[in-house]
């Protein structure tokens, strides 16, 4: 799988875990407009710096584990 495709899949999975759109993730994590997602879908790519910034945002803001909530 191409790097950008893998990165976008990670964003999609993360967004789905919160019930939000991938555009929201890149807005919050990368300070980008939602239209960037459309550009990426059309074949554009981002810099490693941007990818790292968004990945760091996702790592710093993990989804809550539902199993932990049920056990409490």
Residues 3-40: tens digit of each pLDDT:
999 999 999 999 999 999 999 999 999 999 989 999 99
Residues 6+ apart with CB under 8 A from 3: 45
What local confidence, expressed as pLDDT, does residue 11 receive?
97
What local confidence, expressed as pLDDT, does residue 25 receive?
97
What local confidence, expressed as pLDDT, does residue 70 receive?
47
pLDDT (tens digit per residue) in 36-72? 999 999 999 999 999 999 999 999 999 987 554 444 4
What local confidence, expressed as pLDDT, does residue 49 receive?
96
CA atoms within 13 A on the CB side of 15: 18
Sign of CA dihedral 51, 52, 57, 61: positive
Structural domain boundaries of the chain? 3-71
């Amino acid at each position: 799988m191409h790097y950008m495709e893998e990165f976008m899949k990670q964003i999609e999975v993360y967004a789905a875990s919160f019930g939000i759109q991938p555009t929201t993730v890149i807005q919050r994590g990368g300070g980008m407009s939602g239209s960037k997602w459309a550009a990426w879908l059309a074949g554009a790519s981002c810099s490693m710096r941007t990818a790292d910034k968004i990945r760091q945002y996702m790592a710093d803001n993990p989804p809550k584990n539902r199993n932990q909530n049920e056990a409490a």
